[in-house]
Structure 1
Amino acid sequence: CAAGKGTFGTEELVNRIRSTALEKIITHRRVIVPQLGATGVSCYRVRELSGFSVVYGPVRAKDIPEFIGNDMKTTAGMRLVRFGLADRLELVPVELAGGIGYLVFFMALSYIISGFGKGGYSTDDAFRYGSRAAINLLLIYIAGTTASPILLPWIPGRSFSIKGAIMEALFFLTACSLKLIETGILQLSGWFLVYTSVTSFIFMNFTGATTYTSLSGVKKEMKTAVP
């Protein structure tokens, strides 16, 4: 992702070599660059600007010791790009941590707003309706940050916005079956829009962490889906 959009490239690599005074730390003049970073790094320019030669290593950092022990040669396994369940699960805690503050804020806000009515403010209404709203927000959050990446290969559609909307529609139906949403047309339509839009938006954060999205494809999807 970083190599594709230019934030990890020749200039950044040279800048890091210079800022760390790498030539004073090590005796050789070689740097191992991740295989998937090749699109953003020019070996010739790095050598010209820093004096270091670039060696493209394995896909995964954990294979670097074996790569070095194998005389700087990659095996077929080192070049294999995986994105299985374990890989997708590694992304979940990051997304959970990044959005937990927003979740808590809106859950608290839902309790406060739910107490207002024609007769003034009611703590009973705040707890009754606020609890439902908070549970719905939690379901939305779980669907976007956890369920969607775990079930990614089996969710229909190619774009992440569509996949997220489909997953959230399933969670919306689950919420309705559990009677977490009132049956009025305004409540149903309102919560449906919140479910589908918020989950799609959250799930689109994973586009940069997958192994099969492209920068042009992500930009195109953002232009159509985000508005």
Structure 2
Amino acid sequence: MATHLSAADRLGGVGVRWGIGRGRYRVIPGLYAVGSPDAQSPVIVTANYKLTFDALRKELSGLNAWLLVLDTKGVNVWCAAGKKTFSAEEIVRRVRACGLERLVAHRTLVLPQLAAPGVAAREVRRGCGFKAVFGPVCASDLKAFIAADMQASPEMRRVSFGLWDRLAVAPVEIHNARRKALYAALILLFLAGLGPGVWSLGRMLDRWPAAFGSLVLGFFGGAFIMPALLPWLPFRAFALKGGLAGLAMGTLAAALFAGGLGWLDGLAMILAATVVGSWYGLNYTGSSTFTSPSGVERELRRYMPAQAVLTLAALVAWLVSPFAA
């Protein structure tokens, strides 16, 4: 198996970063050879999400190893561990399927550290006789980890979540939001024209840019501003962090677009942007190392009703505004 990425690999990776073909970007599960492995070579376990697979194999140049790829349904290691597809059961199944015990003399599997929430090491040993050792967080540290007799330094165990990491999924949100944006634009074309005399084309042309602009800026606040400023925004809840970013963008939208419109229009724009920012902030919980499944469930129960109330308030303010002018 090649350890260098081809132009097609890199192009595919860029496409997936923008959400193109993400659900189909996977490799066939099974056992792969890196270099010229023998019975003493390490066995490294990973997911079959191709972006993960490529990120790992490009760091293994010069190493002779076995790469055991699990069927995680095309999901990355950390998310697959949360979804229980990167699990002890799948490891045992894959080890038995490829007859790994006949290929290697040792009984050690190197697992990514981020798989730990989904894997019970004792179940791996009980099921196939192999010991599960959790390697470093970053694939770039893997060769050093193996050279150090599979002992990780504190730095190898530390999870970094820098600006690039926080913004890596933002382009995917643009791709995923495109259909919602189209539906919102069409609905707002109708709602913007409502008022005295039932519906007016001129009123629609005056109010629609403000309405749609507030949603776009709210999206930008929740999907881009909130992740970028994540460590510094107040509040623990992501819904509140996103709501704060959306509030700022909604205020900007009102300043940019609400000239000549009523104060209720401006209020509706601020509320709508706040809700959109809060929604995408809440959605970001699945992309952050700061959260847990229980924390996500707690946020959903606590903040989705509030988002629904603010959405209703924004709608009422927007519909009432033409009659209050």
**Common fold by TM > 0.5:** yes
TM-score by length of 2: 0.60
- Match status 1:63 vs 2:63: no
Structure 1 segment 33-72 matched on structure 2, within 5 A: 33-72=111-150
User: How many residues are aligned here?
Assistant: 225
Matched residues in 1 for 2:102 and 2:219: separation? 46
CA contact (8 A) 2:116 2:134 kept: yes
Q: Relative to 1, partners in 2 of residues 1:173 and 1:145: Cα closer, same or farther, differing over 3 Å?
A: same
- Match status 1:224 vs 2:302: yes
Q: Relative to 1, partners in 2 of residues 1:46 and 1:224: Cα closer, same or farther, differing over 3 Å?
A: same
Matched residues in 1 for 2:214 and 2:154: separation? 46
Matched residues in 2 for 1:27 and 1:183: separation? 74
SS of residue in 2 equivalent to 1:157: coil
Which deviations, in whole Å up to 9, do the C-alpha atoms of 1:81-131 show, x marking residues without a partner? 111212112122232222222123312432354345555765544443222
Query: Which of 13, 23, 34 in structure 1 is aligned with 2:99?
Result: 23
Shift of 1:164: 1.3
Matched residues in 1 for 2:196 and 2:255: separation? 29
- Match status 1:140 vs 2:207: no
5+ unaligned residues in a row in structure 2: which ranges?
Answer: 1-77, 306-325
Matched residues in 1 for 2:142 and 2:120: separation? 21
Q: Relative to 1, partners in 2 of residues 1:38 and 1:79: Cα closer, same or farther, differing over 3 Å?
A: same
Q: Relative to 1, partners in 2 of residues 1:176 and 1:59: Cα closer, same or farther, differing over 3 Å?
A: same
Query: Which of 72, 89, 95 in structure 2 is aligned with 1:11?
Result: 89
CA contact (8 A) 1:132 1:181 kept: no
Q: Relative to 1, partners in 2 of residues 1:99 and 1:222: Cα closer, same or farther, differing over 3 Å?
A: same
Matched residues in 1 for 2:115 and 2:196: separation? 60
SS of residue in 1 equivalent to 2:235: coil
CA contact (8 A) 2:209 2:257 kept: no
CA contact (8 A) 1:103 1:141 kept: no
Matched residues in 1 for 2:286 and 2:244: separation? 20
Structure 1 segment 142-221 matched on structure 2, within 5 A: 142-180=220-258, 183-221=261-299
CA contact (8 A) 1:169 1:195 kept: yes
SS of residue in 2 equivalent to 1:153: coil
Matched residues in 2 for 1:136 and 1:25: separation? 60
Larger radius of gyration: 2
Q: Relative to 1, partners in 2 of residues 1:183 and 1:129: Cα closer, same or farther, differing over 3 Å?
A: closer
Shift of 1:32: 2.2
Matched residues in 2 for 1:57 and 1:42: separation? 15
User: RCO greater where, 1 or 2, for CA within 8 Å and sep 6 or more?
Assistant: 1
Q: Relative to 1, partners in 2 of residues 1:31 and 1:99: Cα closer, same or farther, differing over 3 Å?
A: farther
Matched residues in 2 for 1:112 and 1:25: separation? 66
Of Structure 1 and Structure 2, the greater helix share is in 1
Question: What one-letter code is carried by the residue in structure 1 that aligns with 2:153?
Answer: T
More deviation in 56-65 or 164-173? 56-65
Question: What one-letter code is carried by the residue in structure 2 that aligns with 1:158?
Answer: R
SS of residue in 2 equivalent to 1:178: helix
Question: What one-letter code is carried by the residue in structure 2 that aligns with 1:22?
Answer: C
TM-score by length of 1: 0.82
